[in-house]
Amino acid sequence: MDNRPIGIMDSGVGGLTVARYLKKKYPDEGIVFIGDTAHNPYGDKTKEEITTLASSLRDYLLKKQVKMIIVGCNTISFNAAPSFFDCEVPVVRMSLNMPALDGVKEVAVLATPATIATHRHKHLIHEKYPWIQVHELGFPGLAHAIEMGESRESMESIVRRGVQETGAENTEYAFLACTHYPLEKELISRYLPHAAFWDPAEVTVEEGMNLLKSGHQLAGTPQPDQFCFTASGGTADTLVKSIFGSAAHAETVDTGE
């Protein structure tokens, strides 16, 4: 038994979709969530900038005595330097454990520009399914638009342009490789009408929880949650309350960056 909290970090509010699944499946576990709303978006930053900012979030969580850190952000997961993951507690990145794609002809990877630039998902798909056409949709500006609660028209314009420019309209499978995008899955699905969607949040959480189970580190009694953000405003408090209930709230903290 280990009643220490689980840390979840993100460039902003997107990682709340990972926290949502964790609390649904493991309600006794306490969460300390940290979202870097002061420096969002990360998708247009360099690897060095991402590593520096992410390290500040990680260190904040370590000061909270977390027993594990889940990186609820694909941009950090696939751009941060290896040293970022060298830590005294397990640091779990967003999963690449994708479902089988036998018989699929077209796949779309929906991510930030920084994640798309790594081509990690595309390379992984082509290792096993070289015949699949992979569309990489960076949706520049969408994660930040979700953060700030911009108009539906603004977000729709970004999605429509991204789909049209890549010719992804007939995609059969879409990978939500940005934790912000499940928050607007309904909008995105209108422009990818034939696609089944895969959200790695569930697999990521289970990979992390399996580590805790193997070490007998699950919480023994219900633990409190804390939802922290590095800047006020935007959609943080609204999302926290809508996902975790009216008693939950967002608080503004300083990570030193």
> Could you list the active site residues?
73, 178
Cα torsion through 103, 126, 45, 185, rounded to 10: 10
CB 92 within 8 A of CB 6: no
User: In the structure, how many helices (H) and strands (E) does the chain have?
Assistant: 10, 10
Ordered DSSP codes for 201-241: HHHHHHHHHHHHHHTT---SS----EEEESS--TTHHHHHH
**Radius of gyration (C-alpha) of the chain in whole angstroms:** 18
Q: What angle do CA 74, 181, 188 make, to 5 degrees?
A: 140
CB 40 within 8 A of CB 63: no
For the chain, what's the residue count? 257
Task: Name the H helices within 33-139.
Answer: 47-63, 74-77, 113-118, 120-128
Cα torsion through 72, 186, 135, 179, rounded to 10: -10
The residue type of 178 is C
